[in-house]
């Protein structure tokens, strides 16, 4: 039997669409200073916008993933991007706070459809290099999240809220690419029994009690990672403006630099996890960032920028490792697990944004950063994760990686 091949053309396409998707989603938090001033919002209302987006995405993602585990929908990715397109157009035109919430909900709905199925496509195209595939997929999203604030700073802020409508062209481009990805997906999706047999043959089987404990630990680690990230992505610009007196545009550039570091760090976690094991990556990325988060609230503007880059690089490697580790804990449920972890990440980030916004209103934005600095200490719970030994298995498989990996689809297997 011919060994599986990594289809980099599909990984590149789905990563590119992830870039466009998350770039469009990142416009909303990047516009917060403008929306806060234009609509007369307080920090609590700003946090509620994030909460609306994140909860819409998080509550629906596991259910969508579970449904598509049993009933694959190759062209559902286009549908999800259509919701994002509608949300952006509505955001460009609304003049009320409820309208902002509706826009955020539509963009969140698009995310709920996009992420579980695109994560499944990435795994299908991985050729067995699951960590690498998830990192390639994730780096697209993190790059889009980094570019979004920069585009907002130089396009939306000078030209106003209505200029958001121009970004609908990016959604249309993504729909076109996803149509081609859907065609490849439809041709290569495994039959239900074959998929279950393959999963059972390559993944370890643990007692249900250990699986539940491991999933609980992973969820707590996601909690620590995304609450801290939310404190930066949602309120970093306000922190820089309030503490150091920088301009709105300068604060957006600082946010871009941080998010670019997150994008750069994302690509590391997957391949390292393939070679040395996911658990090691989780240890280093969650707990390893703690010294830097503790120092951040006490330094000047220059070192704030430097430390934010270091934090982004280290912390970003966690999610791909956590997601693939969870997929290996529950074989045969790729959509449900992807939806659960993407959904929980978005949901806890939304709740965190609302809570941190209220906390900032009642205390100060500086207090929020001093408090959140301790969250990575929860990385100590990684000790409770069982060793799945996927690293050693993939190291043995790596001896033949040259023969099974290609830089594009195999002959006669073009996704286009």
Overall average pLDDT of the 248-262 stretch: 85
Q: For residue 232, count CB atoms less than 10 angstroms from its CB and return exposed for 0-12, middle for 13-18, buried for 19 or more.
A: buried
Interaxial angle between packed helices 8-30 and 168-188, expressed in degrees from 0 to 180 and rounded to the nearest 10? 150
Half-sphere exposure of 119 (CA within 13 A, CB side): 34
CA distance 63 to 109: 12
Instruction: Give per-residue pLDDT as tens, 32-45.
Output: 888 888 888 887 88
pLDDT over 90 for what percent of the chain? 24
Determine whether 34 is exposed, middle or buried from the number of CB atoms within 10 Å of its CB (0-12, 13-18, 19+): middle
The pLDDT value given to residue 180: 93
* Sign, CA torsion 158/26/142/23: negative
Separation CA 203–CA 219 (nearest Å): 20
Q: What are the boundaries of each domain within the chain?
A: 8-391
- In tens, the pLDDT along 173-202 reads 999 999 999 999 888 776 544 455 444 444
The three-class DSSP label of residue 329 is helix
Distance between CA atoms of 43 and 259, rounded to whole angstroms?
A: 22
| Most confident residue range from 134-148, 160-174, 184-198, 336-350 | 160-174
Q: Which of 92-96, 172-176, 185-189, 282-286 has the lowest mean pLDDT?
A: 185-189
Residue in this structure with the two tokens 């240890």, named with its chain if needed: 283
The runs of H, that is alpha helices, within 203-247 are 208-233, 236-244
Structure token pair of residue 149: 């604030």
CB atoms within 10 A of CB 227: 19
CATH class of 8-391: mainly alpha
The alpha carbon torsion through 231, 232, 235, 236 (nearest 10 deg) reads: 150
Cα atoms in the Cβ-side hemisphere of radius 13 Å centred on 131? 26
What integer pLDDT is reported at residue 404 of this predicted model?
Answer: 43
Average predicted confidence (pLDDT) for the chain: 82
pLDDT score of 140 more than 60 = yes
Whether the predicted pLDDT of 73 surpasses 60: yes
Angstrom distance (rounded) from CA 92 to CA 155: 13
Give the Cα separation of 114 and 118 in Å (integer).
6
Maximum average pLDDT range among 101-110, 135-144, 273-282: 101-110
Confidence check: pLDDT of 322 > 90: no
Confidence of residue 302 (pLDDT cuts 50, 70, 90): very high
Q: Indicate the pLDDT class of residue 221, thresholds 50, 70 and 90.
A: very high
């Amino acid at each position: 039997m011919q060994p599986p091949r990594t289809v980099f053309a599909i990984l590149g396409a789905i990563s590119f669409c992830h870039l466009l998707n998350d770039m469009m989603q990142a416009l909303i938090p990047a516009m917060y200073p403008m929306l806060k001033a234009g609509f007369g919002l307080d920090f609590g209302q700003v946090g509620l916008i994030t909460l609306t987006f994140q909860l819409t995405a998080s509550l629906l993602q596991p259910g969508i993933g579970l449904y598509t585990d049993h009933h694959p929908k190759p062209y559902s990715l286009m549908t999800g991007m259509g919701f994002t397109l509608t949300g952006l157009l509505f955001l460009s035109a609304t003049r009320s706070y409820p309208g902002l919430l509706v826009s955020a909900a539509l963009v969140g709905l698009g995310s709920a459809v996009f992420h579980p199925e695109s994560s499944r496509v990435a795994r299908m195209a991985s050729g067995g290099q699951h960590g690498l595939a998830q990192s390639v997929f994730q780096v697209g999203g993190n790059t889009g999240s980094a570019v979004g604030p920069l585009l907002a700073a130089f396009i939306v802020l000078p030209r106003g809220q209505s200029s958001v409508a121009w970004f609908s062209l990016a959604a249309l481009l993504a729909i076109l690419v996803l149509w081609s990805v859907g065609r490849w997906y439809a041709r290569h999706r495994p039959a239900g029994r074959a998929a279950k047999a393959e999963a059972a043959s390559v993944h370890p089987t643990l007692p249900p009690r250990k699986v539940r404990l491991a999933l609980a630990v992973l969820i707590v680690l996601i909690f620590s990672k995304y609450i801290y990230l939310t404190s930066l992505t949602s309120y970093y610009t306000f922190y820089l403006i309030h503490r150091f007196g920088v301009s709105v545009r300068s604060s957006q550039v600082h946010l871009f630099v941080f998010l670019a570091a997150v994008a750069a760090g994302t690509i590391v976690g997957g391949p390292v996890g393939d070679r040395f094991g996911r658990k090691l990556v989780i240890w280093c990325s969650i707990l390893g960032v703690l010294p830097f988060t503790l120092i951040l609230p006490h330094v000047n503007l220059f070192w704030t920028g430097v430390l934010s880059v270091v934090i982004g690089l280290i912390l970003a490697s966690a999610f791909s490792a956590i997601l693939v580790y969870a997929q290996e804990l529950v074989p045969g449920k790729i959509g449900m697990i992807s939806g659960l972890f993407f959904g929980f990440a978005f949901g806890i980030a939304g709740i965190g944004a609302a809570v941190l916004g209220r906390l900032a209103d009642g205390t100060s934005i500086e207090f929020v950063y001093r408090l959140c600095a301790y969250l990575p200490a929860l990385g100590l719970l990684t000790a409770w994760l069982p060793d799945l030994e996927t690293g050693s298995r993939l190291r043995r498989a790596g001896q033949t990686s040259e023969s099974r990996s290609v830089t594009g689809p195999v002959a006669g297997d073009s996704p286009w």
